[in-house]
Structure formats: C-alpha cells, structure tokens
Amino acid sequence: METRRRCIVGTAVCGLSLALAAALYACAPQAAPQEGKADDGKAAQTEPVAIDWSPTADCAVCHVTEAESATDAACDASQHADMTCIECHTDESQLATMHEGKTTGDRMPMRLKKTTVDKSLCTPCHDQATIAAASADCTVLTDVNGKTVNPHELPGDESHAEITCSDCHEMHSDATERTEDVQKLCRTCHHSDVYECYTCHEHG
C-alpha cells in the first residue's frame, strides 16, 4: 500500500514538473525574425524603379562605380571631382533617349558607346600644344617596328581627327591600366600594330 502511494505521488510530481516546464517555455521570449528577410530565409528583393532622367538627376543612384571614381586617386575623375556629370556629358537629348525605359535594376554600361564627351570640353584647361610637348618622350604608342608616336600629336587626317580625349582617357577607370586600352584603340585601324601609313593597303 505504501509503495503504491509513493508511485502515485511520484507520478503526480513528474506530471506537474512537465506542465510547469511547458508553461515556462511558452512564456519565454522568442527570437524575432531578422528585419528585411522573408519567412523562408531569403533576403527581400527591392523592386526596380523606373528612371526619370533629367540633367539634374542624381546619377550616382545607378552609376555607383563612376561616382566612386571621383574619390579614387587612381582615376582621372578624382582630379575633376568638383565637376558635375552634366558638365562633361552634355548631350542631353541623346542621354534622355538612352534612359528611356530604363530601371534601377538594369545592368550599367561599362563605357560610352552611344554618347561622347566632346574634345572642346577638355581643351580650355588642357591646351593641346602644352600636353603634346609634355608627352613628347612618351613611348606608350610604339609599334612592332619600333616606331613611336606622340599620343597627343597624331597625324591631322580625317580618321585621327575623330579620336576624342575620352577615347583614351577613360575618366572613371584606373589610369594605371590605360596603356593596353590605348594600344588596343590604335589596333582597331592599325591591325598589324604598324603605325607607318600606306604599309597595309595599296593606294592608287
């Protein structure tokens, strides 16, 4: 009889302990879901916003790399950090066309293809004769035959006249990587990496 009573009491104590533990767990503060994450653990996606471009728009919202180059000493843009985008990118009509239908989620272009930075915007500060004299000993443009051309004193023919400052001086790119880009630009016409004229095509 005594043994049976002890069993009943022990069972009751265990039951009360389990009930108390369950009650305490239910009342304990639960970890709140992390802000900005969906219930399935995936980060919430920001919906792309349509671009309403204007000359006074904040270009840095989308063109992050270009905006950051203004404080990067390796980029020429850092020497023009006091200028606004529209002071160099002046083709407002074409820029408006290029931004039609674009959103903040679109992939950003890596270089200018359908707009240009006019050479006349550079020459008021960068005098052509002065920079040509300064780069007289530059050997960046040396072809396979050892012929060297001053990059700021190119032949005055029509094809070279079309070359603008920004074709070589990509303001938002690392200037230390410019040599290969400039040589590649020359090879678009000088396919054999020979700068002497009339060595590739016959002329009547």
For the chain, list residues with pLDDT below 70: 1-45, 201-204
Distance from C-alpha of 204 to C-alpha of 202, rounded to nearest angstrom: 7
Domain count, the chain: 2
77 and 139 part of one domain: no
At 77-112, the pLDDT tens digits run: 999 999 999 999 999 999 999 999 999 999 988 878
Q: Does the reported pTM lie above 0.95?
A: no
| Euclidean distance between CA atoms 35 and 43, whole angstroms | 9
Domain assignment of residue 4, yes or no: no
Answer yes or no: are the C-beta atoms of 151 and 182 closer than 8 Å. yes
- At 103, give phi and psi (nearest 5°): -130, 170
Q: Are residues 110 and 128 in the same domain?
A: no
Scored b (16 or more CB within 10 A) or e, 169-202 reads bbbbbebeeeeeebeeebeeebeeeebeeeeeee
- Asked whether residue 129 falls in the same domain as residue 78, the answer is no
In this structure, are 72 and 140 located in the same domain?
no
CA distance 106 to 1: 83
Tokens 């050997």 sit on residue:
139
**Whether residue 122 is found in the same domain as residue 181:** yes
Q: Residues 105, 134: one domain?
A: no
* Residue 142 sits in the same domain as residue 177: yes
| CA–CA gap between residue 183 and residue 140 (Å, rounded) | 8
Residue 55: inside a domain, yes or no? yes
124 and 203 assigned to the same domain: yes
Q: Tell me the C-alpha distance between 186 and 140, whole Å.
A: 11
Give the range of the structural domain holding residue 70, as residue numbers without chain letter: 49-115
Q: Is residue 90 part of a domain?
A: yes
Q: Are 53 and 148 in contact (CB under 8 A)?
A: no
Q: Residue 80 CB: number of other CB atoms within 10 A?
A: 16
First vs last C-alpha separation in the chain: 128
| Structural domain includes residue 160 | yes
Give residue 71's pLDDT.
Answer: 95
Q: How many of the other CB atoms lie within 10 Å of CB of 77?
A: 22
Is 13 inside a domain boundary? no
